[in-house]
Structure 1
Amino acid sequence: MRDWAKARLVDLTDDDRATLFGAFLDIAGQLREGRNTASGDLKTRWRRAGLHAFDRDREHD
């Protein structure tokens, strides 16, 4: 199963890939402009969350 499906992003967006891509473009813009970083380094938080999800997934395989 693809990671997008595991994260239920497909369900949340009714499998609308344009919406998912737009969200990623918005995230990229936030990182470029330095927005929304007051509560910590977003890139670090997102990476940590992704690594934890991958680890959980490996534990269930």
Structure 2
Amino acid sequence: MEVIFILIAISLVMAGSFLLLFFKAMKSGQFEDNHTPAIRILFDSKPSKKSNKVKSTKSK
């Protein structure tokens, strides 16, 4: 029974620390860029050096 109280205390400390880290990230402005993720798919990536040709195989 004592182990459950220890686990609950540890989980509350961890949850509180994650909550504090989340608020710190919100305060520093990490989540304020709403425009770039929406248009990121529209940008072309650099073309690869490999050719994209498909080799044809002949079956005999």
* TM-score between both structures, scaled by the size of structure 1: 0.35
**Greater RCO (CA < 8 Å, at least 6 residues apart):** 1
